[in-house]
Amino acid sequence: MNKPAILKCMLVLLAVPALALASESPLHALVERYRQGPDHWPQANVDTGVDYQPLAAIAEQVPVPANNPLTAAKHELGKHLFFDRRLSASEQIACASCHDPDLGWADGRRASIGHNRQKGDINAPTVVNSAWLTHIFWNGRAASLEEQVIASWTNPIEMAADTDVAVERLSETQSYPALFEQAFGSAEVTPERVAQAIASFMRGLTLTNTPFDRFMRGDTDAMSDEALHGLHLFRTKARCINCHHGPQLTDNRFHHLGTSFHNVGDFQGRYRLTGAQDDVGAFRTPSLRGAAETPPFMHNGFVKDLDMLLALYNMGWWQNAELPEKGNDIPTAKLSPLIKPLSLSGTEVHALKAFLNSLNGTMPWMEMPELLP
């Protein structure tokens, strides 16, 4: 059976309706163990070598670097800069062009459109909860939000800015010098200050009050029985816990799942930075918080929805795929040993989906501010 046919069969399984839990069933007893709190949960099935961190509610205060303290004035300045198209070379692209509040602070595209209508080779992830990231961009090339701002701002296929030209443009406006003075103590506009202000704004975009977080903080009714069954599967049979753990539900590491095909989009992944064979096609594990609300998925955006994503994981991605001819000197990619076929039933897939949806909540939202004169 070819891959499209297998995937179609897996998607059919998702049509199986969820089943109510009888009070005397073993599954009901399992769910009740979860309602008693993490000390009563069954042990997670974690592979040898995985640096596992227990699941937990997310902190309600974001981490802030010592060299860029968060202030209301800096956050306000960053908000205006985030939506300001004048930062880009064409004066047509803002940060919000790819991170739209109406689309969960992503853009809903398989790959984003940048300077001169160039199509990128990567999917724009949400910036919500980015304050907790330790590696930024899919290949982890930035270590802080401030670095990420500069990298996107100057990338020739994103905003393509000459930062000296952009800051001069801002300096000549009526409004920005006063906002910079309020935020930094002087009216001087510099690339570093622009990056610090935008990073401060992004740190304020958080999703911390999901059903899962409320459950982990003691609200035992915050999650349904089906979602708790899904939580159990997430930690055991479905193997998700090997890469998605800790408060952010990510290991902050890089893995190759077989989604990178040579010479299609960004197929190099982490290898582009490290040159290590194990990093060919390896991309950062994203957090799952709010992720179900920002399709398409994966680094190249080829997974259109959550049902397709679960079907692919259930079949073990491309375990028996033949590697294509490379036509270059990049080493052959190695599939992550953490990815295996799962043999989940339709009912189990539904339960897992219910758990993933418990990681959703009310995304932060705001109207686009008016362009400052």
Q: Is 229 within any annotated ligand binding site?
A: no
Cβ atoms 258, 317 nearer than 8 A: yes
Q: In the chain, pLDDT over 70 holds for what percent of residues?
A: 87
Q: What CATH topology corresponds to 3-60+208-357?
A: Cytochrome Bc1 Complex; Chain D, domain 2 (1.10.760)
Give the other-Cβ count within 10 Å of 296's Cβ. 18
pLDDT surpassing 80 at residue 261: no
Write down the pLDDT at residue 257. Answer: 84
Dump pLDDT digits (tens) for 43-79: 999 999 999 999 999 998 999 999 999 999 999 999 9
Residues contacting residue 80 through CB under 8 Å, at least 6 positions apart: 175, 176, 179, 369, 372
Q: Is 9 within any annotated ligand binding site?
A: no
Distance in angstroms (rounded) separating the CA atoms of residues 97 and 113: 9
| Confidence (pTM) | 0.88
Write down the pLDDT at residue 262. Answer: 47
Cβ atoms 82, 198 nearer than 8 A: yes
Q: Which of 115-124, 201-210, 243-252, 278-287 has the lowest mean pLDDT?
A: 115-124
CA angle 232, 358, 142 (to 5 degrees): 100
Return mean pLDDT, the chain: 88
pLDDT surpassing 90 at residue 330: no
Write down the pLDDT at residue 5. Answer: 52
3-state SS, residue 151: helix
pLDDT surpassing 80 at residue 179: yes
Which pLDDT band, with edges at 50, 70 and 90, does 122 fall under? confident
Q: How far is CA 182 from the centre of its chain?
A: 32
Which pLDDT band, with edges at 50, 70 and 90, does 214 fall under? very high
pLDDT surpassing 90 at residue 227: yes
Write down the pLDDT at residue 49. Answer: 92
| Residues of each domain in the chain carrying CATH 1.10.760.10 | 3-60+208-357, 72-203
Write down the pLDDT at residue 37. Answer: 94
Q: Is 98 within any annotated ligand binding site?
A: yes
Dump pLDDT digits (tens) for 124-156: 999 999 999 999 998 999 999 999 999 999 999
Give the residue among 322, 341, 350 at the shortest CA–CA distance from 11.
350
Distances (CA, A) of 221 to 178, 211, 214: 49, 9, 9
- Hey, what are 204's tokens? 């304020």
Give the CATH H-level superfamily of domain 72-203.
Cytochrome c-like domain (1.10.760.10)
